[in-house]
Amino acid sequence: MTITTPPHFVLFPFMSQGHTIPILHLSRMLSDRHVSVTVITNSATKSALFKNNFISVINIPFPDPPALQTNDKSPCMASFINYIKSTKQLQPEFEQLVRTLPPVTCIISDGFLIWTQDSADKLGIPRLVFSGMNMFSSTMFNIMDNFNQHGEVRSINDPFPVPGFPRIKLTASHLEIGFKDDDPKSEGSDFVLRYQEATDRSYGMVVNSFYELEHEFNDYWNQNFVPKAWLVGPFCVAQPHAPMVEKPSWVHWLDKKLEAKEPVLYVSFGTQAEASEKELLEVADGLEMSNISFIWVVKPKELTFISVGFRERVKGRGLLVGEWVDQVEILNHEAVSGFLSHCGWNSVLESLCAGVGILAMPLVAEQHLNAVMVVDEIGVGLRLWPRNMTTRGVVDSKEVAKMVVELMEGDSGKRVKKKVKEVKESAHCAMKEGGSSWQSLEMLIDNVYGVM
Ligand code: UDP
Ligand code: UDP
Nearest in space to 216 (alpha carbons), one of 143, 146, 159: 143
* Rounded CA separation 40/18 (Å): 15
Q: Is the CB of 178 under 6 A from ligand 2?
A: no
Q: How far does the centroid of ligand 1 lie from the alpha carbon of residue 36, in Å?
A: 24
Which residue has the least CA distance to atom 9 on ligand 1? 440
* Closest ligand by atom to 137 CA: 2
Q: Is the CB of 250 under 6 A from ligand 2?
A: no
Q: How far does the centroid of ligand 1 lie from the alpha carbon of residue 219, in Å?
A: 9
* Rounded CA separation 78/182 (Å): 16
Between CA 368 and CA 395, with CA 420 as vertex, the angle to 5 degrees is 35
Q: Is the CB of 134 under 6 A from ligand 2?
A: no
In order along its 452 residues, the chain shows pLDDT tens digits of 555 688 999 999 999 888 999 999 999 999 999 999 999 988 766 554 555 567 888 888 888 888 776 655 555 677 888 899 999 999 999 999 999 999 999 999 999 999 999 999 999 999 999 999 999 999 998 888 776 655 555 567 778 888 899 999 888 777 765 444 555 667 777 888 899 999 999 999 999 999 999 999 999 999 999 999 999 999 999 877 777 888 999 999 999 999 999 999 999 999 988 888 999 999 999 999 999 999 999 988 888 888 889 999 999 999 999 998 999 999 999 999 999 999 999 999 999 999 999 999 998 888 999 999 999 999 999 999 988 777 778 899 999 999 999 999 999 999 999 999 999 999 999 999 999 999 999 999 999 988 65
Q: How far does the centroid of ligand 1 lie from the alpha carbon of residue 85, in Å?
A: 34
Between CA 307 and CA 314, with CA 338 as vertex, the angle to 5 degrees is 25
**pLDDT value at residue 417:** 98
Q: Is the CB of 341 under 6 A from ligand 2?
A: no
Residue 68 · residue 364 · CB < 8 Å: yes
Q: Is the CB of 54 under 6 A from ligand 2?
A: no
Q: How far does the centroid of ligand 2 lie from the alpha carbon of residue 129, in Å?
A: 20
**Which residue among 19, 20, 21 is best mutated to probe the pocket of ligand 2, counting the most ligand atoms within 8 A of its Cβ?**
21
**pLDDT value at residue 180:** 47
pTM equals: 0.91
Q: Is the CB of 225 under 6 A from ligand 1?
A: no
Widest distance between CA atoms in the chain: 69
**pLDDT value at residue 121:** 98
Q: Is the CB of 248 under 6 A from ligand 2?
A: no
Residue 273 · residue 364 · CB < 8 Å: yes
Q: Is the CB of 407 under 6 A from ligand 2?
A: no
* Rounded CA separation 20/22 (Å): 6
Q: How far does the centroid of ligand 1 lie from the alpha carbon of residue 121, in Å?
A: 27
Beta pairing class for 165-170 and 160-162:
antiparallel
